[in-house]
């Protein structure tokens, strides 16, 4: 059993208990900030998609810091032995052993060691059915033929998808942005959807397959959706969508978790200070990505006048980005940024379609990329989507013409002209002009 207590303030405390015993005490300044967002067990709030690898039988949250005695009592009440400390052990032995053993045999079981007998070990494996918190991951690909195709995360070669989800629309470009939450629910941005032919965000239940209907649809005049492109989720499953408007008023709209119907966004990033409105009407708001701390990256693709803008967590209104990378009409260094993703360390990866490069920006980068993934060995060819799994493997969707649609996968931290460790390609894969990609349960 693991327990952690927090007492905030300049004279606070943060204590960690293992099996009822204090193992890591701390006294001093403790920042314990109240939160009103969703609370999750077993998933990192810093690194998106990283999960506790094991089983959690049960958990509790209290509105105050428990005392050491209360934690020891909880540990014992859960059917565990008393903490391995010499003081409490005698109290466990006087009544238990004499009543269950004949009088000639008390000396066969030494009184100081009842808690070290084999009866302890079964309690280390919880008897209730545990809930796995490290769900197998899958690769989701937004396909140009109005489908989302799903592969096992280890797919390689001419691998057939494990699922294909149809997302029919009424003309125009179909599904674009795609994201998956920790429960395996799939989110898809649609340029046009349904009888109204209005832009929409669709949510499909976990395991959806075939011509499954979406369980939730965000669509209507109040939503602010306009030719939606990139889509991403924050740690509370709020939905971020990049919108392209014909009047140079591009925006990122944010919808609360659970939104449906003609829902208004809870926040909108738009205006001249955002750098999302570029010089011509050829701009398209493409990749949208969030890191574990809530920093937001947006790719505004405007041919050789493109911008990669990064905003602070919970940015709203006509706000300036915290940092930006612009080509300013020179196509240098970036030309046509499309997909975007953060790795677990906060480095930003951007797929440049025209240059067939994955640009990499460290959190401290300014002015230009820190490194690149490019060259003949990489097999990167007109990349559109990029994603990073919880182990750091890098996934790239390549279009490169109708005959060379591929997903190439690279080892964590790969840069330069390196070969992929896996490549999904072939007639069985179902790949057809893949755009954005995502990884999730």
Burial class for 24, CB neighbours closer than 10 Å (0-12, 13-18, 19+): exposed
Alpha-carbon gap, residue 396 to 328, rounded angstroms? 26
Classify residue 4 by its DSSP letter: E
At 266, list the tokens. Answer: 């809870």
Task: Write the DSSP assignment of 343-382 as a string of letters.
Answer: -TTS-EEEEETTTTEEEEE-TT--SS-SEEE-SGGGT--S
pLDDT score at 416: 97
Residues 6+ apart with CB under 8 A from 377: 417, 418, 419
Cα end-to-end span (Å), the chain = 27
Rounded Cα distance, 63 and 100, in Å:
41
Q: How many angstroms from the chain centroid is the CA of residue 437?
A: 13
Residues found in the chain: 441
Asked if residue 316 lies in contact with residue 268, where contact means CB atoms within 8 angstroms, the answer is yes
Q: Do the Cβ atoms of 385 and 142 come closer than 8 Å?
A: yes
Residue with tokens 């592969």: 151
**What pLDDT sits at residue 6?**
73
The CATH fold assigned to 138-440 is Neuraminidase (2.120.10)
Q: How far apart are CA 122 and CA 350, in angstroms?
A: 50
Q: Is 53 exposed, middle or buried (0-12, 13-18, 19+ CB in 10 A)?
A: exposed
Alpha helices by DSSP H, 168-320: none
Instruction: Please give the pLDDT value at position 423.
Output: 96
Contact 264, 279 (CB under 8 A): no
How confident is the model at residue 64, as a pLDDT?
83
Confidence (pLDDT) at 167: 67
Give the DSSP H or E segment for 75.
helix 68-77
Nearest to 433 by CA among 203, 187, 176, 197: 176
- Cα–Cα dist 428/149, whole Å: 12
Q: What is the mean pLDDT of each run of 10 residues along the chain (441 residues)?
A: 77 78 71 60 57 70 84 75 46 41 46 46 41 72 90 96 78 71 94 88 94 94 93 95 81 95 96 76 76 90 82 96 84 87 95 94 91 95 95 94 82 96 95 93 93
pLDDT of residue 20: 82
Q: CB under 8 Å to 388, separation ≥6 — which residues?
A: 341, 342, 343, 344, 349, 394, 395, 439
Q: What is the pLDDT of residue 380?
A: 95
Distances (CA, A) of 102 to 108, 112, 326, 368, 405: 11, 18, 85, 81, 77
Instruction: Count CB atoms within 10 A of the CB of residue 271.
Output: 16
Q: What was the pLDDT predicted at 203?
A: 95
Whole-number Å distance between alpha carbons of 411 and 405: 20
Only one residue has tokens 């799994």, namely: 389
Omega prior to 272 cis, within 30 of 0: no
Model-level pTM? 0.70
CB atoms within 10 A of CB 292: 19
Tokens of 99: 């009543």
d(CA 432, CA 407): 11
Question: Can you read off the two tokens belonging to residue 191?
Answer: 């340029």
Residue with tokens 């000396």: 107
Calpha distance 204→209 (Å, rounded): 9
Return the pLDDT at 278.
58
d(CA 324, CA 319): 13
Q: Which of 47, 41, 39, 51 is nearest to 295 (CA)?
A: 47
Number of CB atoms found within 10 A of residue 342's CB = 25
Domain chopping of the chain, boundaries: 2-131, 138-440
How do beta strands 307-311 and 323-326 pair?
A: antiparallel
304, two tokens: 């050789």
Do β-strands 348-352 and 357-361 pair in parallel, antiparallel, or remain unpaired?
Answer: antiparallel
């Amino acid at each position: 059993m693991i327990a952690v207590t927090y007492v905030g303030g300049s004279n606070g405390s943060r204590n960690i208990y293992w099996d009822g015993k204090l193992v890591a005490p701390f006294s001093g300044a403790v920042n314990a900030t109240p939160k009103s967002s969703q609370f999750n067990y077993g998933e990192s709030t810093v690194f998106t998609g990283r999960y506790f690898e094991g089983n959690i039988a049960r958990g509790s949250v209290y509105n105050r810091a428990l005392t050491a005695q209360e934690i020891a009592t909880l540990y014992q009440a859960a059917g565990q032995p008393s903490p391995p400390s010499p003081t409490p052990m005698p109290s466990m032995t006087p009544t238990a052993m004499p009543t269950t053993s004949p009088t000639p045999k008390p000396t066969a079981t030494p009184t100081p060691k009842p808690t070290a007998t084999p009866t302890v070990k079964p309690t280390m494996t919880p008897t209730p059915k545990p809930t796995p918190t490290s769900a197998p991951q899958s690769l989701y690909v937004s396909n140009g033929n109005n489908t989302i195709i799903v592969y096992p995360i280890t797919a390689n070669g001419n691998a057939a998808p494990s699922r294909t989800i149809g997302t029919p629309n009424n003309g125009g470009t179909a599904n674009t942005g795609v994201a998956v939450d920790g429960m395996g629910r799939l989110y898809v941005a649609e340029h046009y959807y349904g009888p109204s032919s209005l832009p929409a965000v669709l949510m499909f239940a976990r395991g959806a397959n075939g011509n499954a209907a979406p369980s939730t649809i965000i669509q209507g005049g109040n939503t602010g959706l306009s030719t939606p492109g990139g889509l991403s989720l924050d740690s509370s499953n709020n939905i971020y969508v990049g919108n392209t408007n014909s009047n140079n008023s591009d925006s990122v709209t944010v919808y609360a978790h659970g939104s449906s119907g003609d829902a208004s966004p809870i926040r909108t990033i738009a205006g001249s200070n955002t750098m999302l409105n570029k010089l011509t009407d050829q701009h398209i708001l493409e990749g949208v990505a969030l890191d574990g701390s809530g920093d937001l990256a947006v790719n505004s693709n405007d041919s050789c006048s493109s911008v990669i803008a990064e905003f602070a967590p919970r940015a709203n209104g006509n706000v300036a980005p915290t940092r930006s990378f612009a080509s300013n009409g020179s196509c240098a260094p970036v030309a046509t940024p499309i997909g975007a993703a953060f790795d677990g360390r906060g480095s930003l990866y951007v797929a440049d379609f025209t240059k067939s490069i994955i640009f990499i920006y460290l959190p401290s980068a300014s002015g230009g990329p820190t490194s690149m993934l490019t060259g003949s060995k990489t097999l990167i060819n007109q990349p559109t989507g990029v994603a990073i799994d919880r182990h750091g493997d890098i996934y790239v969707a390549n279009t490169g013409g109708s005959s060379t649609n591929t997903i190439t996968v690279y080892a964590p931290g790969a840069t330069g002209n390196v070969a992929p460790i896996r490549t999904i390609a072939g007639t069985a894969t179902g790949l057809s002009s893949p755009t954005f990609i995502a990884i999730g349960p």
